[in-house]
Amino acid sequence: MNVERSGAGVPLLRLRPPVIRARVHAMGTLRALGARVPAVAAGLAASIPVIDSTVKAVRRGWVPAGDDGIIATRGWDVLTTHTPLVGQFSEAGFVIHSQSLHSPGPMLYWLLALPARYGGVTSIPVTIGVLNTLAIVGCVVLARRRGGLPLMFATALAIALMCQSLATEVMHDIWNPAAALFPLLLLMFLCWSLSCGEHRLLPLTALVASFVVQTHLAYAAPTLVLLVVGVAGLLIRSRVARTRRAGPRVWPWALAGLVVLAVCWTAPAIDEIEHTPGNMTLIVRTVGHREATLGASVGWRAVERSVGVRPWWLYVPASEWERKYDVRTASSTARRDTTIALLGVLLLLVPIAALARRWDLLAAAAIGLGLSAAIGLQAASNPSDRLLAGTLGYTMWWGSELGLWVWLTLAWAAWLGLASLLRRARPRLDSRLAGRAGASAATRRAAIGLASLASLGGVVAVGLAVTADARPDSHGYEYASIRQMAAAIERAIPPGRTIAYRFGHLGRGTQPMETALRFLLVRRGDRPLADGSRPRLGDYYVEGDRPVQWVLLLTDSRRAQRGMRLVSRVRFSGPWGAEVLSAWVRRA
């Protein structure tokens, strides 16, 4: 009698059933992990620009300048009694209806709560770098589940290429338009997989969608499109499965997704209850406010720049703000014609995929068409006010991801068509190769292995090429000066003090340093107070009539301040020319 043996050479008949099950489970787990290695490796290769950007930020001594300082401070506030209930402050509220408006929720602050409070300051961009890397790996893993190795490597290569169209700091920046960018790309693949029946992704989809929308309102429209396609596809697939009495139980995962949504949106709901009007009410009023907009021509140009040749995702912009000019400049005839042609092919894929019962391809085409409409409507409905029109410089960043998705979908459809033709020709090839099945199988495995290694090497090469052309952070010239001044202030003022934080004249180059210095004071236990802090930081940081122990004045004036002591003066050069910032202190 043949005795089956385990991997360790022990006869299975001598092992107890629980031991057998444990070993079989362990072997299955190892095989599953081994199967995911290529996807993880390809995802990490596609993440090379993100990893490189994060490492360079750490080496340069990153500090949260500009709006990053506000975000980092609010991240520190999460673990206090004045935890934020809403997201980052937006100028749109004051411009449109003279009221303070914020992003929908505080999930970005939740993400940064621990790194803002513990570890080095550079742990903050590292957190975003890790988040973006995980998002890219997730995209590549889901791409393999949908289309195997060809789609997996095509996705990895496309993502690495797309990174060239983004500013270096976008890949590690905590600024809310940047922090939600790669999670939005992950959401595209999650909702696509959801529409293909992967119901176990419901909780993760709810989490990522909540984070993207709460981080910046500009991502609400694409998120809505993605959720509609994903949930509609899942419902259709579930109903078909129920009619065949073979469908899995979806409701436990749907319930888990609802629980995730409830947890994520608890803070904004509390704010809506506590304040009249609440932030969500103000958002609805702002979206529904009727005023002059940029119009349909700008909306169509946003679609052209995203999809048509040469799309945003395939070239290196002169600056990260260039897109606010792109959408207001007439496009070439070639770009217009290719946009119409590509969208036409995408539209034609819908009935073709339905007839071929390729519901995955149909869902991918629907996502591409829906996102194209979303970016067009978003740009067209943008207020024409000079300040708000300028926001297109960053609200159009996700146009790179839209272009990637459309081109990737069309390339995959072409691959499927070619594969179908090859399958039809396969019987003739098999008849010629009869008798050599073993050799052909071994040759096929070797060819797949070599092709995979070559594809992985290509992704790595593209990622390295993108990093070679990367520009330094736009605030990098300030980092050393901010740290130098912060150290001098900390030597002059004992920790744990309440400080009247005041400003003289600050120029375009010195103003971003104010928020960074504030955060560094908060991080060591001080409480810097300033009138006018309420919209961005809340009542806790407003001076009013509160007693203070020290007065700190920042100014770019070189004049002596009566009754105050100069503790630091830094000089540096930036895009605005030579800059000087002085810090003066006195006891209150």
pLDDT digits (tens, 9 = 90+) for 133-153: 999 999 999 999 999 999 999
Statement to judge: residues 404 and 537 lie in one domain:
no
On whether residue 323 sits in a domain, the answer given is yes
On whether residue 6 sits in a domain, the answer given is no
| Over residues 82-87, mean pLDDT | 96
What is the rounded distance in angstroms from the CA atom of residue 69 to the CA atom of residue 512? 8
Judge whether residue 539 has pLDDT over 90: yes
What is the rounded distance in angstroms from the CA atom of residue 521 to the CA atom of residue 514? 11
Which residues form the domain of 537? 476-587
Statement to judge: residues 416 and 304 lie in one domain:
yes
Judge whether residue 2 has pLDDT over 50: no
- The 8-class DSSP code of residue 563 comes to T
Statement to judge: residues 404 and 492 lie in one domain:
no
On whether residue 82 sits in a domain, the answer given is no
On whether residue 264 sits in a domain, the answer given is no
On whether residue 157 sits in a domain, the answer given is no
User: What is the number of structural domains in the chain?
Assistant: 2
> Taking a C-beta distance cutoff of 8 angstroms, is the pair 75, 140 a contact?
no
More confident residue, 100 or 226: 226
Which of 370, 397, 432 is a domain's end point? 432
On whether residue 69 sits in a domain, the answer given is no
**Strand pairing partners for 383?**
293
| Over residues 21-45, mean pLDDT | 71
Please report the pLDDT score of residue 490 as a whole number. Answer: 95
Instruction: State what percent of residues in the chain have pLDDT above 70.
Output: 89
Statement to judge: residues 302 and 386 lie in one domain:
yes
pTM score of the predicted model: 0.92
Statement to judge: residues 499 and 554 lie in one domain:
yes
| Over residues 559-581, mean pLDDT | 92
Statement to judge: residues 427 and 481 lie in one domain:
no
Judge whether residue 436 has pLDDT over 70: no
> Taking a C-beta distance cutoff of 8 angstroms, is the pair 249, 197 a contact?
no
Q: Sheet of 565-574: strands edge to edge?
A: 527-529, 498-503, 550-555, 577-587, 565-574
Mean model confidence pLDDT for the chain: 90
Please report the pLDDT score of residue 12 as a whole number. Answer: 47
Statement to judge: residues 379 and 491 lie in one domain:
no
Please report the pLDDT score of residue 489 as a whole number. Answer: 97
Statement to judge: residues 379 and 500 lie in one domain:
no
What is the rounded distance in angstroms from the CA atom of residue 211 to the CA atom of residue 108? 7
Statement to judge: residues 541 and 426 lie in one domain:
no
Statement to judge: residues 342 and 394 lie in one domain:
yes
Statement to judge: residues 509 and 406 lie in one domain:
no
On whether residue 582 sits in a domain, the answer given is yes
Q: What is the pLDDT of residues 91-116, one digit of tens each?
A: 776 666 667 889 999 999 999 999 99
Statement to judge: residues 489 and 424 lie in one domain:
no
Angle at 545 between CA 540 and CA 551, to 5 degrees: 80
C-alpha 23: how far from chain center? 40
On whether residue 362 sits in a domain, the answer given is yes
Which of 432, 465, 497 is a domain's end point? 432
Please report the pLDDT score of residue 318 as a whole number. Answer: 87
Q: What is the pLDDT of residues 483-528, one digit of tens each?
A: 999 999 999 999 999 999 999 989 888 999 999 999 999 999 999 9
Please report the pLDDT score of residue 500 as a whole number. Answer: 97
Which of 397, 412, 432 is a domain's end point? 432
What is the rounded distance in angstroms from the CA atom of residue 291 to the CA atom of residue 387? 14
Secondary structure element (H or E) that encloses residue 503, with its range: strand 498-503
Residue 462, both tokens: 């593209």
What is the rounded distance in angstroms from the CA atom of residue 70 to the CA atom of residue 510? 15
What is the rounded distance in angstroms from the CA atom of residue 134 to the CA atom of residue 136? 5
